[in-house]
Each structure stands twice: as C-alpha cells, then as structure tokens.
Amino acid sequence: MSEYNELCRFMNSKLPTCIQEIRCDNCLYKGKFQLVGSIPIELTNLKPTMYDRNHRSSKVWNTEKEVIDALLAIGIKEFQLADTSWYKGD
C-alpha cells in the first residue's frame, strides 16, 4: 500500500461517518445522498483514477432513508445525518 493510501486510511479512521445531500446546481446527482468522512468499504464503488487505481468513492442513494438502512444493515449505529443531527441507534 502506498504512503498516500495509508495516510488516507488513517485520516478516515479518525472521521465520523456522515450523510451528505448533494446540492450542486448542474450535477447529475442533485438531490441524492452520499457518505462523507469515514466511509465503510461495503458502501463504496471502485473508481480508478489516473493517480490511484484503487480509488473508491461513496455509493449514491435516492433518499436519506436508503442511506440509513444501508448503514444499519452493516452494523453502523452512530452517524451524522444530512441535517447535521446525530443518529445514535441501540
């Protein structure tokens, strides 16, 4: 693993998992939801770039409820919602 990838993994391990609503005006995914911060690998897609052939990015969902269900399905019970409040499951 490259030093850059190790650094990214370390930094992501220190961040919370957060849901973000995509709000860009001229964006294909406007109004949809994605994860930012510490993103579980199960909820990512492999998107190789010129600089990193192992680059992964968040999957995109149509509703915040779908993201919550996906997080709960893999055992993540505490995360930040798109409105910046916290979801703290049992």
Could you tell me if 73 and 48 are in contact, meaning their C-beta atoms sit under 8 angstroms apart?
Answer: no
User: Which residue do the tokens 């779908």 mark?
Assistant: 66
pLDDT in tens, the chain (90 residues): 567 667 666 666 667 899 999 998 888 889 999 999 888 889 999 888 888 888 888 999 999 999 999 999 999 999 999 999 999 976
pLDDT for the residue 10: 66
Model's pTM, two decimal places? 0.78
pLDDT for the residue 53: 83
Q: Which residues pair with 18 in a beta bridge?
A: 36, 80
Residues 2 and 90: their CA atoms lie apart, in Å, by: 37
pLDDT for the residue 49: 82
